[in-house]
């Protein structure tokens, strides 16, 4: 792989505008090379001389390896010319700014083709100053963040001491920490600001704590006793040293534990009531504070890794482009320029490396019990490896699913089931039960397609969703789950048809009706399975987001929460099929394969409620975001979902009751909701239809190079939105399609529309992060300082 492609592949995508523009500088060098070739075309009389020169150079290639031509090369006029100074790099102090900038003076501008080289160095200086300024800014941010993390660690250690009440060796004597109250040393606060980022992390002292105050060394084994004695000696040496500082053992009154509520009741209490109570010191809150602190340190360490990678990758890019310049122009300017890069803040600063060392030491000491391998595994999670068996089983299950589809088609045709008198009975009862799995499988396939294109166009979906590193699912893994579920579902359909229509097994008709219920039970058990199988972390992440959606507005809304709620708005028919499951199997109609659910008023009421629930969750989430963020756009978004709720109620009333009045109300409300939702999709969620954008009627930045894709997606979004109107326009049933089949097709079109929406919605979110250089998650800290 060429360096240009490797350089782009290793970029932090949210910082791509802050990297050195290697391709543009390379294009300038290509123009310089082209200009040099045009102005140095050999004359016909000199062709023989040039060919001889080429032969000499070719021969010199073989002799150069033995060093036979090195002395001659050093004494040649060409070599002496190359040793002459080509550029002069100097630091220039800008007026009104503490930061300087570097400027290169090209000393050969009078040479032929020197204008291109002068332009090259001008742009090279601009790129270097851009990289240097961005790197300084990021280092200053992490230094300030390390200062806050040090305060948080001091408070956490003090909380540990207060809660666990240990007995520690202090100055050679055993003193009960519960009996003393030492305030944090002023030296911890007054630290030189230029070094505070790493000195504060370094002052966290080792605290030996036990949960039992009466433990004695005699009660332990020999190895533990020796380790304890060694620790006590080390503590005595540290105490005797002049730089020794005792660890803080008290939490000041203005420090409050900031632990997010773990239940809707506590969350509602947090919203409606402001707690003025003192700090509560309990084991549960200590564990929660430790968990938050671990997450904060892990995220901070990953941030340091990205900054270090940014520094190294840009240094490598400057080295590569200067070597390419020397190769093209046959000059020797890279040595002096790269020396300037090494001497600059970009090449000489070591704050990030020191911070990484101190974070590692603090994390291993306080969260890994001194086990370095365990601590480093947590700080540096191993990247996922592609497993070939996933590809194999995905293809295997897909082939089985296609074979089962062929078997179902053959069974329908051989037994002429489409013209059977029991066709309507089967479509009204069994088809809704199995179509539930079809909706889920289609949504999973669309999600796998989204992941594939997100990866292809380098959209950082794991960061946007907040997946833990190494636990995000690849598109092949999602396809594996969907293909496996499709095999089970299609096998159930085929077995149901065979067992139902075979005269020998007609007596087991009631048993065959339980096949869909068994499949639903298996899917639910796998979803909530507590064992570490079948992607447990992803399943629990999905369950957590679903729980937050159900409990809206009692939880703070994050992107995964409202993104999942938007997916649920496209699964209204799946929710209604779940309601049919409860009615069909709960009231015993499955024993006679009769559908009496539509005759129940309770079923009709819940038919409305189930369709409204997803939109109601999004409405409540918008209200919570309006409360938390104060963004008026969230209020407008809530009104959008409220109009959709009204349209869904009107369409459902027209579907169940009919009548001209309900038809007019449903048509009007659905038309208004469709216009509002379409505008919101294209303009707000996708960020398109910008009049003054660089790309005509799109936006300034696009992830897909082909702009026609965006126009096709907008047209498809509008067309698929019209699927809402099929019930109102009277397209309920066709001669070759049953009403339930048509409803399933319309629901599938909505799922496909949602899949298209997913890609462009996340693309817009990613580009917003790129524009604001947001490459890190905001992790809540366990303590607040009033």
3-state secondary structure 13-36: HHHHHHCCCHHHHHHHHHHHHHHH
Predicted confidence at residue 112, as pLDDT, reads 61
User: What is the Cα–Cα distance from 3 to 495, expressed in whole angstroms?
Assistant: 56
Predicted confidence at residue 785, as pLDDT, reads 64
> What average pLDDT does this structure show over 586-601?
77
Record the tokens describing residue 240, joined without a space.
């005797």
From residue 671, give the alpha-carbon distance in Å to each of 634, 654, 757: 22, 15, 20
Predicted confidence at residue 221, as pLDDT, reads 44
Predicted confidence at residue 40, as pLDDT, reads 62
Which residue did the predictor score with more confidence, 531 or 596? Answer: 531
Q: What is the pLDDT of residues 299-319, one digit of tens each?
A: 999 999 999 999 999 999 999
Provide the b/e sequence for 474-497 (b: ≥16 CB within 10 Å).
bbbbbbbbbbbbbbbbbbbbbebb
> What average pLDDT does this structure show over 398-422?
87
Which residues make beta-bridge pairs with 594? none
Predicted confidence at residue 169, as pLDDT, reads 43
Predicted confidence at residue 399, as pLDDT, reads 96
Nearest CA to 209 out of 240, 176, 250 is that of 176
Q: Which of 51-55, 158-162, 603-607 has the lowest mean pLDDT?
A: 51-55
Which residues make beta-bridge pairs with 104? 89
Predicted confidence at residue 8, as pLDDT, reads 87
pLDDT at 256 over 80: no
Q: What is the pLDDT of residues 735-752, one digit of tens each?
A: 667 888 888 999 999 999
pLDDT at 412 over 50: yes
H helix runs in 680-738, sequence order: 708-721
User: What is the Cα–Cα distance from 748 to 448, expressed in whole angstroms?
Assistant: 16
Burial of 738 (0-12, 13-18, 19+ CB in 10 A): middle
User: What is the Cα–Cα distance from 597 to 604, expressed in whole angstroms?
Assistant: 8
Could you say which DSSP state residue 737 is in? B
Phi/psi of residue 546, each to 5°?
A: -65, -40
Predicted confidence at residue 219, as pLDDT, reads 42
pLDDT at 469 over 90: no
pLDDT at 559 over 90: yes
Taking the CA atoms of 321, 322, 323 and 328 in sequence, report the sign of the dihedral they define: positive
Predicted confidence at residue 306, as pLDDT, reads 92
Which residues make beta-bridge pairs with 168? 175
The alpha carbon of residue 639 and the mean position of all alpha carbons in its chain are separated, in whole angstroms, by 29
| Average pLDDT, rounded, for the chain | 78
Q: What is the largest CA-CA distance in the chain?
A: 104
pLDDT at 241 over 50: no
For 211-220, which contacts have Cβ atoms below 8 Å and span 24 or more sequence positions? 211/164, 211/166, 213/165, 213/166, 213/167, 213/176
User: What is the Cα–Cα distance from 154 to 315, expressed in whole angstroms?
Assistant: 36
Q: What is the pLDDT of residues 444-458, one digit of tens each?
A: 999 999 999 999 999
How many of the other CB atoms lie within 10 Å of CB of 710? 22
CB 182 within 8 A of CB 329: no
460 CB-near residues (< 8 Å, 6+ apart): 13, 14, 766, 769
Provide the b/e sequence for 7-22 (b: ≥16 CB within 10 Å).
beeebbbbbeebbbbb
How many of the other CB atoms lie within 10 Å of CB of 265? 11
Q: Helix or strand or coil: residue 515?
A: helix
Q: What is the model's pTM?
A: 0.80
Predicted confidence at residue 42, as pLDDT, reads 54
pLDDT at 772 over 90: no
Phi/psi of residue 222, each to 5°?
A: -65, -40
CB 123 within 8 A of CB 7: no
Predicted confidence at residue 358, as pLDDT, reads 93
Angle between helix 372-379 and 351-367 (nearest 10): 120
253 CB-near residues (< 8 Å, 6+ apart): 278, 279
How many of the other CB atoms lie within 10 Å of CB of 463? 19
Q: What is the pLDDT of residues 475-505, one digit of tens each?
A: 999 999 999 999 999 998 888 776 655 555 5
Phi/psi of residue 87, each to 5°?
A: -130, 160
Predicted confidence at residue 139, as pLDDT, reads 94
Give percent of the chain above pLDDT 90: 40
Record the tokens describing residue 63, joined without a space.
């002799």
pLDDT at 176 over 50: no
Count Cα atoms within 13 angstroms, Cβ side, for 36.
Answer: 15
Q: How confident is the model at residue 285 (pLDDT cuts 50, 70, 90)?
A: confident
pLDDT at 168 over 60: no
pLDDT at 70 over 80: no
Give percent of the chain above pLDDT 70: 74
Q: What is the pLDDT of residues 5-27, one digit of tens each?
A: 888 888 888 898 899 999 999 98
Cis check for the bond before 553: say yes or no (omega within 30 of 0): yes
386 CB-near residues (< 8 Å, 6+ apart): 474, 476
pLDDT at 178 over 70: no
From residue 259, give the alpha-carbon distance in Å to each of 40, 271, 557: 72, 14, 16
User: What is the Cα–Cα distance from 485 to 85, expressed in whole angstroms?
Assistant: 70
Q: How confident is the model at residue 729 (pLDDT cuts 50, 70, 90)?
A: low
Q: What is the pLDDT of residues 319-364, one digit of tens each?
A: 999 999 888 888 888 888 898 999 899 988 899 999 999 999 999 9
Nearest CA to 17 out of 776, 768, 764 is that of 768
Predicted confidence at residue 174, as pLDDT, reads 35
> What average pLDDT does this structure show over 374-400?
88
Q: What is the pLDDT of residues 112-133, one digit of tens each?
A: 656 778 888 889 999 999 999 9
Predicted confidence at residue 63, as pLDDT, reads 38
User: What is the Cα–Cα distance from 429 to 590, expressed in whole angstroms?
Assistant: 8
Q: How confident is the model at residue 180 (pLDDT cuts 50, 70, 90)?
A: very low
């Amino acid at each position: 792989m060429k360096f240009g492609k490797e350089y782009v592949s290793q970029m932090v995508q949210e910082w791509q505008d802050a990297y050195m523009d290697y391709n543009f500088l390379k294009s300038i060098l290509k123009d310089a090379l082209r200009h040099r070739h045009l102005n140095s075309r050999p004359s016909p009389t000199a062709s023989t001389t040039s060919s001889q020169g080429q032969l000499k150079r070719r021969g010199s290639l073989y002799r150069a390896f033995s060093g036979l031509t090195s002395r001659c090369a050093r004494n040649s006029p060409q070599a002496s010319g190359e040793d002459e100074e080509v550029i002069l790099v100097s630091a220039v102090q800008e007026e009104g700014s503490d930061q300087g900038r570097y400027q290169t003076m090209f000393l050969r501008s009078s040479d032929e083709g020197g204008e291109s080289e002068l332009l090259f160095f001008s742009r090279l200086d601009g790129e270097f100053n851009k990289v240097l300024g961005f790197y300084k800014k990021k280092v200053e941010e992490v230094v300030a963040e390390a200062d806050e993390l040090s305060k948080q660690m001091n408070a956490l250690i003090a909380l540990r001491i207060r809660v666990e009440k240990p007995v520690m060796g202090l100055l050679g004597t055993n003193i009960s920490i519960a009996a003393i109250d030492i305030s944090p040393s002023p030296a911890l606060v007054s630290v030189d600001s230029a070094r505070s980022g790493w000195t504060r992390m370094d002052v966290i002292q080792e605290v030996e704590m036990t949960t039992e105050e009466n433990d004695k060394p005699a009660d332990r084994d020999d190895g533990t006793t020796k380790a304890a004695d060694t620790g006590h000696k080390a503590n005595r040496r540290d105490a005797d040293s002049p730089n020794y500082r005792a660890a803080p053992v008290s939490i000041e009154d203005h420090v409050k534990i900031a632990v997010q509520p773990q239940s809707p009741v506590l969350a509602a209490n947090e919203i409606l009531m402001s707690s003025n109570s003192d700090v509560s010191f309990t084991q549960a809150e200590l564990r929660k504070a430790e968990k938050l602190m671990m997450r904060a340190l892990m995220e901070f360490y990953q941030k340091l890794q990205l900054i270090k990678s940014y520094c190294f990758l840009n240094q490598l890019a400057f080295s590569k482009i200067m070597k390419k310049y020397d190769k093209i122009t046959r000059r020797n300017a890279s040595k002096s320029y790269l020396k300037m890069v090494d001497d600059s803040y970009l090449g000489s600063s070591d704050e990030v490396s020191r911070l990484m060392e101190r974070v590692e030491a603090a994390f291993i000491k306080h969260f890994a019990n001194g086990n370095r391998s365990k601590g480093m595994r947590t700080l540096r999670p191993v990247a996922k490896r592609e497993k070939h068996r996933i590809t194999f089983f995905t293809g295997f299950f897909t082939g089985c699913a296609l074979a089962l589809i062929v078997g179902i088609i053959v069974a329908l045709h051989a037994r002429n089931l489409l013209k059977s008198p029991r066709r309507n009975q089967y479509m009204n009862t069994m088809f809704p039960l199995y179509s539930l799995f079809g909706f889920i499988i289609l949504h999973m396939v669309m999600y796998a397609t989204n992941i594939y294109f997100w990866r292809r166009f380098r959209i950082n979906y794991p960061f946007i969703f907040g997946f833990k590193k190494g636990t995000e699912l690849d598109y092949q893994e999602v396809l594996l789950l969907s293909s496996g579920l499709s095999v089970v579902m299609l096998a159930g359909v085929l077995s149901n048809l065979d067992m139902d229509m075979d005269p020998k097994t007609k007596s087991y008709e009631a048993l065959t009706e339980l096949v869909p219920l068994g499949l639903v039970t298996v899917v639910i058990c796998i979803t909530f399975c507590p064992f570490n199988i079948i992607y447990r972390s992803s399943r629990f992440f999905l369950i957590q987001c679903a729980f937050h959606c159900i409990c809206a507005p009692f939880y703070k809304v994050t992107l995964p929460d409202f993104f999942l709620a938007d997916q649920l708005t496209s699964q209204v028919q799946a929710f209604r099929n779940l309601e049919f499951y409860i009615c069909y199997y709960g009231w015993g109609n499955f024993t006679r394969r009769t559908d009496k659910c539509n005759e129940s008023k309770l079923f009709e009421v819940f038919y409305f409620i189930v369709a409204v629930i997803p939109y109601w969750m999004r409405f409540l989430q918008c209200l919570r975001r309006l409360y938390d963020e104060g963004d008026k756009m969230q209020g407008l978004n809530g009104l959008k979902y409220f109009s959709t709720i009204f349209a869904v109620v009107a369409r459902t009333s027209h579907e169940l009751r009919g009548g001209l009045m309900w038809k007019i109300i449903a048509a009007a409300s659905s038309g208004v909701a469709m216009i509002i939702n379409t505008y919101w999709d294209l303009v707000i969620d996708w960020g398109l239809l910008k009049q003054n954008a660089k790309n005509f009627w799109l936006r300034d930045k696009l992830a897909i190079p082909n702009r026609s894709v965006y126009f096709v997606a907008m047209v498809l979004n509008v067309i698929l939105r019209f699927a809402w109107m099929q019930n109102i326009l009277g397209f309920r049933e066709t001669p070759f399609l049953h009403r339930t089949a048509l409803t399933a097709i319309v629901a599938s079109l909505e799922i496909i529309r949602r899949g298209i929406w997913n890609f462009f919605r996340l693309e817009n979110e990613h580009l917003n992060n790129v524009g604001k250089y947001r490459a890190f998650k905001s992790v809540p800290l366990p303590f607040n300082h009033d």
